[in-house]
Amino acid sequence: HLFADIFERDVLTYKQRELVTISVIASLGALEPMLTSHLNLSLNVGWQPVQLHYFITTIECTA
Protein backbone atom coordinates (compact mmCIF):
# COMPACT_ATOMS: atom_id res chain seq x y z
CA HIS A 1 0.00 0.00 0.00
CA LEU A 2 1.59 3.22 -1.18
CA PHE A 3 0.61 5.50 1.68
CA ALA A 4 1.56 2.98 4.36
CA ASP A 5 5.02 2.67 2.80
CA ILE A 6 5.45 6.43 2.76
CA PHE A 7 4.30 7.03 6.33
CA GLU A 8 6.03 4.13 8.08
CA ARG A 9 9.53 5.23 7.11
CA ASP A 10 11.44 8.13 8.65
CA VAL A 11 13.11 9.28 5.43
CA LEU A 12 10.63 12.08 4.69
CA THR A 13 9.36 14.75 7.05
CA TYR A 14 5.63 14.95 7.76
CA LYS A 15 5.42 17.98 5.47
CA GLN A 16 7.12 16.09 2.65
CA ARG A 17 4.94 13.02 3.19
CA GLU A 18 1.80 15.13 2.82
CA LEU A 19 3.06 16.64 -0.44
CA VAL A 20 3.73 13.17 -1.84
CA THR A 21 0.28 12.02 -0.78
CA ILE A 22 -1.41 15.11 -2.22
CA SER A 23 0.44 14.77 -5.52
CA VAL A 24 -0.67 11.15 -5.92
CA ILE A 25 -4.29 11.83 -4.97
CA ALA A 26 -4.51 14.92 -7.20
CA SER A 27 -2.96 13.04 -10.12
CA LEU A 28 -5.45 10.19 -9.81
CA GLY A 29 -8.43 12.55 -9.85
CA ALA A 30 -12.02 11.90 -8.70
CA LEU A 31 -10.87 11.66 -5.05
CA GLU A 32 -11.86 15.12 -3.85
CA PRO A 33 -12.88 14.13 -0.30
CA MET A 34 -9.53 12.43 0.27
CA LEU A 35 -7.67 15.34 -1.32
CA THR A 36 -9.50 17.85 0.87
CA SER A 37 -8.66 15.80 3.94
CA HIS A 38 -4.96 15.74 3.11
CA LEU A 39 -4.91 19.44 2.25
CA ASN A 40 -6.28 20.11 5.75
CA LEU A 41 -3.70 17.76 7.27
CA SER A 42 -1.01 19.66 5.39
CA LEU A 43 -2.06 22.86 7.14
CA ASN A 44 -1.60 21.06 10.46
CA VAL A 45 2.00 20.10 9.63
CA GLY A 46 3.00 23.61 8.64
CA TRP A 47 2.13 24.27 5.00
CA GLN A 48 0.51 27.61 4.27
CA PRO A 49 -2.65 27.84 2.13
CA VAL A 50 -0.87 29.86 -0.56
CA GLN A 51 1.88 27.22 -0.78
CA LEU A 52 -0.69 24.46 -1.23
CA HIS A 53 -2.50 26.54 -3.85
CA TYR A 54 0.71 26.89 -5.90
CA PHE A 55 1.47 23.20 -5.46
CA ILE A 56 -1.99 22.10 -6.68
CA THR A 57 -1.81 24.59 -9.56
CA THR A 58 1.51 23.10 -10.63
CA ILE A 59 0.08 19.58 -10.54
CA GLU A 60 -2.93 20.65 -12.60
CA CYS A 61 -0.69 22.29 -15.21
CA THR A 62 1.42 19.16 -15.65
CA ALA A 63 -1.39 16.58 -15.56
As averages over each run of 10 residues, the pLDDT of the chain (63 residues) reads: 71 90 88 94 97 91 76
Q: Per-domain residue ranges for the chain?
A: 2-62
Q: Vertex 18, ends 51 and 34: CA angle to 5°? A: 100
Single pTM value for the model? 0.80
Number of H helices and E strands in the chain, helices first, is 4, 0
pLDDT at 15: 94
Determine how many CB atoms are found less than 10 A away from the CB of residue 4: 8
Task: Give pLDDT, residue 1.
Answer: 56
